[in-house]
């Protein structure tokens, strides 16, 4: 009889953990890109909904990630030959997010195991997928690393450890800074609750990033009517050059 009771208790433990769910809030779910847009900061906050008391054991940790639209990227290696730099090998990185920010409530490796990272693709390295490179290309992984290194330098990729505040294992909040040169599209915000390195719950929502006003008109025109867009750009350049030369001539005459 005691063995049956112990078995039932063990079965109830995962169920209790699964009762922890995210209730999320965003300071804004839409980012408008205008002529004077110089970046945005999004406050992400929420609470943990439970049907049972906080389970014993490791404390609850929170991971928040914001992922921009992904696209293939061809990375080329340059080498110096005969005194000049030339492209040699190239590798297609199948999917690289245009923006990727991860905020955590503790050091990343302490709150998420490598197995869970592989399953959910949370870290920057796991978020980038690369197709198989040709056998003759040496150091194929270096091409994916180059994408990460370049975009980290541009503040497009970042891991911000210890930036998620968690109160009483129930309330959490953080802010994600988004740069000025955002790619238009849907940005996926993901929240993971972890205990002992294992994901116990996750939640996803979308942040809409769009050009508005004149930027939207010019963007659509460049895609849908490229000939007219080119002619308009040429006319503006000619008019600006003529206006500048006229202004300088009048200044010299005075």
Q: What is the pLDDT along the chain (254 residues), one digit of tens a residue?
A: 444 444 444 344 444 445 788 888 777 666 766 655 667 788 899 999 888 888 888 999 999 999 999 888 877 776 666 666 656 666 777 788 999 999 999 999 999 999 999 999 999 988 886 555 454 555 556 777 888 888 899 889 999 999 999 998 899 999 988 887 788 888 999 999 999 999 999 999 998 887 655 555 455 556 566 776 676 677 777 777 777 777 777 667 66
Spatial separation of the C-alpha atoms in residues 102 and 130, rounded to whole Å: 20
Spatial separation of the C-alpha atoms in residues 197 and 60, rounded to whole Å: 10
pTM for this predicted structure: 0.70
Spatial separation of the C-alpha atoms in residues 58 and 189, rounded to whole Å: 25
pLDDT at 41: 82
Helix-helix angle 226-253:214-224, to 10 degrees:
120
**Contact residues for 95 (Cβ-Cβ < 8 A; gap 6+):** 70, 71, 72, 128, 129
Spatial separation of the C-alpha atoms in residues 58 and 110, rounded to whole Å: 11
**82-107 CB burial, b ≥16 within 10 A, e <16:** eeeeeeebebebeebbbbbbbbbbbe
Spatial separation of the C-alpha atoms in residues 236 and 181, rounded to whole Å: 24
């Amino acid at each position: 009889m005691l063995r049956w009771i112990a078995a039932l208790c063990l079965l109830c433990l995962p169920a209790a953990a699964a009762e922890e769910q995210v209730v999320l809030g965003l300071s804004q779910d839409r980012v408008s890109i205008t002529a004077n847009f110089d970046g945005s900061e999004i406050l992400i906050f929420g609470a943990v909904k439970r049907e049972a008391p906080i389970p014993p054991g490791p404390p609850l940790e929170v991971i928040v990630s914001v992922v921009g639209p992904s696209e293939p990227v061809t990375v080329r290696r340059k080498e110096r030959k005969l005194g000049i730099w030339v492209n040699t090998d190239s590798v297609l990185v199948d999917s690289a997010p245009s923006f990727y920010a991860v905020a955590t409530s503790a050091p990343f490796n302490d709150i998420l195991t490598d197995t869970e990272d592989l399953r959910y693709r949370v870290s920057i390295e796991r978020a980038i997928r690369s197709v198989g490179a040709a056998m003759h290309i040496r150091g194929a992984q270096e091409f994916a690393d180059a994408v990460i290194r370049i975009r980290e330098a541009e503040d497009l990729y970042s891991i911000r450890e210890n930036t998620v505040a968690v109160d009483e294992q129930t309330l959490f909040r953080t802010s994600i800074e988004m740069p000025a040169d955002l790619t238009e599209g849907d940005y996926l915000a993901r929240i993971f609750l972890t205990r002992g390195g294992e994901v116990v719950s996750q939640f996803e929502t979308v942040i809409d990033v769009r050009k508005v006003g004149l930027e939207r008109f010019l963007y659509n025109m460049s895609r849908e009517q490229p000939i007219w867009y080119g002619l308009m750009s040429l006319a503006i350049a000619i008019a600006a050059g003529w206006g500048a030369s006229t202004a300088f001539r009048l200044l010299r005459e005075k």
